[in-house]
């Protein structure tokens, strides 16, 4: 055993010296490899953590949200629809929800206005999300002015700011009284944005939804399961822009693996010829090439994964923020919880390390089985 270990150590010594002889080329290879692994891992870590967090947070989302549609578009729902839905067997509660958007031309930010029964507010007071407070520098006790649907100004006082811990769901929220909401938006008393339905038995969500559609054919029920699935599909690492990043990375990886696999340089062939001529076995040459592949691929892989982890979970993904932010003025400031699992690491390993190691061994095996004399002469 000791002899085998010593042999491996000698081969590694030789491999490192050989790699250092082509320092420039191998450093560039290590750098490109690390960047590709870093990109792939960053995307995987980010999307998985966001999906997992969405799944946990949105577990308490309404069971069913009923929208009214008109001419194929979301329309305001009559409040009496809630009463009719309440009559359906299995429905625990059906409450009209008042919410909408407000575009502030000065800051060019979009706010989400909402009336909440859990935060009853007197007319004239609002509670704002911490994203609004941070971006617009508005604090408790300050006044905010809004332009109503008629064009006149409505000034409301910030009574409180929602906890910054909840920024991922409440960054752009403005909670206000029903009176102020209707005055600002012009929504009639008998109308609401949608209806939230609570169902007693989770197994009956779909049955109740079908009953709602049969009773009120101009409505569209959105089930809790569909809300959860939306986030599952948005941040699926096999979708949208994510798949594009992965595609480009894998393509770059294939190009340099192909470069390796398509043959060895004259220098490398000569080196193998000399080694064989001085008595190295074919297995020793393959062993050396295995360590060479491992030295580059495993080191790059581990460095890439660790750097990606730091990028996503320590520094809040600064490389992705600009892309995710798009044209938004309000963007939540949040640190994702690292939800990682061995399956992700194994997937990355098989996507990157295994093909590269195989790609370096095969041409070496071919060169190592040829007569050394003919290699050196060629």
Partner 1 sequence: MRRSVVYLSGLGFLFLLLAGIFFHAMYRQEHAVPRLNEMARIVKDLELTDLCLFTEARYTRHPSQADLQTAFQDHPMAMEHFPSGSFMKIPEGIGRNNGYETLDK
- Tokens of residue 325, six digits: 């932010």
Which of 35/168 has CB closer to partner 1?
168
Q: Which C-beta is closer to partner 1: that of 107 or that of 362?
A: 107
Quote the least distance from Cβ 209 to partner 1, whole Å: 6
Query: Residue 56 CB, nearest distance to partner 1 (Å)?
Result: 5
Instruction: Give the whole-angstrom CA distance, residue 61 versus residue 204.
Output: 16
In contact, 115 and 96? CB cutoff 8 Å: no
**Residue (194 or 269) nearer to partner 1, CB:** 194
Q: Which two tokens stand for residue 247?
A: 């595609």
Distance CA(79)–CA(189), nearest Å, equals: 8
> At its nearest, how many Å lie between partner 1 and the CB of residue 41?
10
What is the number of other CB atoms lying within 10 angstroms of the CB of residue 240?
13
Question: Phi-psi category of 74—alpha, beta or left, where left has phi over 0 and alpha has psi -120 to 50?
Answer: beta
Nearest residue to 221 (alpha-carbon basis) of 96, 69, 359:
69
Toward partner 1, which CB reaches closer, 109 or 375? 109
Q: Output the six-digit token pair for 214.
A: 């049969």
Q: How far is the CB of 341 from partner 1 (least distance, A)?
A: 9
Question: Quick one: 61 or 347, whose CB is closer to partner 1?
Answer: 61
Cα-flanking dihedrals φ and ψ of residue 338, to 5°?
A: -70, 100
Query: Is 295 in contact with 16 (CB distance < 8 Å)?
Result: yes
* Nearest approach, Cβ of residue 143 and partner 1 (Å): 22
Q: In terms of residues, how long is the chain?
A: 378
Q: Which is nearer to partner 1, 52 or 269 (CB)?
A: 52
* Residue 50 beta carbon to partner 1: minimum distance, rounded to whole angstroms: 8
């Amino acid at each position: 055993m000791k002899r085998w270990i010593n042999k491996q150590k000698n081969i590694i010594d030789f491999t490192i010296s050989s790699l250092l002889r082509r320092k420039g080329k191998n450093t560039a290879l290590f750098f490109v490899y690390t960047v590709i692994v870093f990109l792939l891992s960053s995307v995987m870590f980010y999307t998985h953590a966001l999906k997992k967090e969405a799944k946990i947070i949105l577990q308490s989302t309404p069971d069913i949200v009923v929208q009214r549609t008109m001419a194929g578009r979301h329309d305001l729902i009559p409040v009496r629809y809630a009463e009719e839905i309440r009559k359906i067997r299995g429905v625990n509660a059906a409450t009209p929800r008042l919410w909408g958007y407000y575009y502030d031309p000065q800051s060019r930010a979009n706010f989400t206005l909402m009336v909440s029964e859990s935060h009853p507010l007197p007319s004239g007071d609002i509670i704002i999300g911490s994203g609004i407070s941070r971006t617009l520098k508005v604090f408790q006790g300050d006044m905010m002015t809004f332009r109503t649907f008629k064009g006149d100004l409505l000034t409301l006082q910030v009574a409180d700011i929602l906890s910054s811990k909840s920024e991922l769901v409440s960054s752009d929220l403005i909670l206000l009284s029903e009176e102020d909401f209707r005055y600002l938006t012009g929504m009639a008393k008998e109308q609401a944005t949608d209806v939230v339905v609570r169902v007693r038995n989770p197994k009956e969500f779909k049955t109740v939804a079908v009953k709602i559609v049969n009773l009120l054919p101009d409505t569209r029920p959105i089930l809790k399961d569909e809300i959860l699935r939306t986030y599952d599909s948005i941040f699926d690492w096999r979708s949208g822009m994510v798949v594009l990043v992965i595609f480009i990375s894998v393509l770059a990886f294939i190009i340099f693996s192909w470069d390796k696999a398509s043959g060895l340089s004259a220098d490398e062939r000569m080196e193998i010829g000399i080694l064989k001529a001085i008595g190295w076995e074919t297995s020793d040459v393959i062993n050396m090439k295995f360590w060479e592949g491992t030295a580059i691929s495993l080191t790059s892989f581990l460095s890439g994964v660790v750097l990606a982890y730091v990028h996503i979970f320590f520094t809040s993904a600064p490389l992705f923020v600009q892309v995710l932010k798009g044209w938004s003025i309000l963007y939540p400031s949040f640190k994702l919880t690292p939800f990682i699992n061995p399956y992700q690491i194994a997937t990355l390993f098989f996507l990157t390390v295994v093909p590269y190691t195989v790609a370096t061994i095969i041409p070496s095996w071919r060169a190592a089985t040829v007569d050394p004399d003919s290699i050196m002469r060629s």
